[in-house]
Amino acid sequence: MKIVDLIKRDMILPALQSTDKRGLLEELATYMASHHTRIDRASLSRVLIEREQLASTAIGEGVAIPHGKLGSVGEIVACLGRARDGVEFDSMDGQPTFLFFVLVAPESSTGAHLKALARISRVFKDPEFRKRLLEAPDAESMYTVVATEDAKY
Which positions are annotated as active-site residues? 67
Q: Is 148 helix (H, G, I), strand (E, B) or coil?
A: helix
Dihedral of alpha carbons 59, 65, 71, 76, sign: negative
- Give the angle 5-56-2 at the CA atoms, nearest 5°: 10
Rounded (5°) CA angle 122-76-108: 110
User: Around Cβ 132, how many Cβ atoms within 10 Å?
Assistant: 17
Sign of the dihedral through C-alpha 55, 58, 59, 61: negative
